[in-house]
Amino acid sequence: MDIELREVSRRFRMGETFVHALSEINLVIKGGEMMSVTGPSGSGKTTLLNIIGTLDRPTSGRLILDGENVTDLSEGRLSKIRLTRFGFIFQQFYLLPTLTAFQNVYLPIRENGGYGPSGKKRARELLGIVGLSHRMKHLPSQLSGGEQQRVAIARALANDPPTILADEPTGELDSENSKIIIDTLRDLNRDTGKTVIMVTHDPEIARRSKRIVRMKDGKILK
């Protein structure tokens, strides 16, 4: 899926003033790209990712997905787009603590009609893709941080979305586990052609993507 931002700005009201989180961002991301967004804390990285994933709306400007302007669609239409076109990965994993690794991945598959043997098979396959076939019955508390994030990656793939959005996916991890997560995302991009957009404040991690977008004060640096 091709993603285009045209003159996207986002400001937040803070009492009497505004915070300009994004200022007139122009960006084109072609289907199949692997891209890092980097920059200091507060530079607008999360706001940019949230707008791309339709979790947030621009104050002005447009978001265009595969040529369709989706900026002003209803919340109902946007939630459909979120469900089918994006998989989300966050710094804090957000796994359900009382469910096993397998159940965490199977749940979104089942909710979208993939119940029964074929849905269960798919959950097992996705855990295999992230190298966790031997951890299916473990609870999140019985997994390392890196393993928990790999479960979250498998879950993000449940609906086979064309685009994966990851906000500081290695922020909670040591360097060894960070490397495994980045390798997993890179393999996914290379082997399945999924677009991967990853936010990180760590320049070392950003360097491992083919394309790096650097942000400062709500703008993309040239």
Ligand X SMILES: Nc1ncnc2c1ncn2[C@@H]1O[C@H](COP(=O)(O)OP(=O)(O)O)[C@@H](O)[C@H]1O
> For residues 35-54, which are near Mg ion according to CB under 5 A?
45-46
Give me the least distance between CB of 194 and Mg ion, in Å please.
22
Report how far residue 135's alpha carbon sits from residue 104's, in angstroms, rounded to the nearest whole number. 12
Based on the shown chain and the rule CB under 6 A, indicate whether residue 21 belongs to the binding site for ligand X: yes
Based on the shown chain and the rule CB under 6 A, indicate whether residue 171 belongs to the binding site for ligand X: no
**100 contact choice in Mg ion, ligand X, none (CB below 5 to 8 Å, kind-dependent):** none
Query: In this structure, which long-range contacts are made by residues 179-188, counting pairs with CB atoms below 8 Å and at least 24 apart in sequence?
Result: 180/146, 180/150, 181/146, 181/149, 181/150, 181/153, 182/208, 184/130, 184/131, 184/150, 184/153, 185/34, 185/153, 186/34, 188/129, 188/153, 188/157, 188/164
**47 contact choice in ligand X, Mg ion, none (CB below 5 to 8 Å, kind-dependent):** ligand X
CA torsion through residues 85, 188, 147, 165, sign: negative
**19 contact choice in Mg ion, ligand X, none (CB below 5 to 8 Å, kind-dependent):** ligand X
Give strand pairing partners of 211.
Answer: 35
> Considering only residues 36, 45, 146, 198, which one is a binding residue for ligand X as defined by CB under 6 A?
45
Nearer to ligand X, 17 or 118 (CB): 17
Pick the piece of the chain touching ligand X (CB under 6 A) from 44-52, 60-68, 72-80, 156-164.
44-52
Report how far residue 207's alpha carbon sits from residue 216's, in angstroms, rounded to the nearest whole number. 17
Query: Residues 169, 150: contact at Cβ < 8 Å?
Result: no
User: What are the two backbone dihedrals, phi and then psi, of residue 29, each rounded to the nearest 5 degrees?
Assistant: -120, 115
Based on the shown chain and the rule CB under 6 A, indicate whether residue 19 belongs to the binding site for ligand X: yes
Nearer to ligand X, 61 or 162 (CB): 61
Nearer to Mg ion, 138 or 219 (CB): 219
Based on the shown chain and the rule CB under 6 A, indicate whether residue 47 belongs to the binding site for ligand X: yes
90: CB partners within 8 A, 6+ apart: 152, 166, 167, 168, 169
Pick the piece of the chain touching ligand X (CB under 6 A) from 45-53, 76-84, 116-124, 132-140.
45-53
Based on the shown chain and the rule CB under 6 A, indicate whether residue 42 belongs to the binding site for ligand X: yes
Binding site for ligand X (CB under 6 A): 12, 14, 19, 21, 39, 41-47
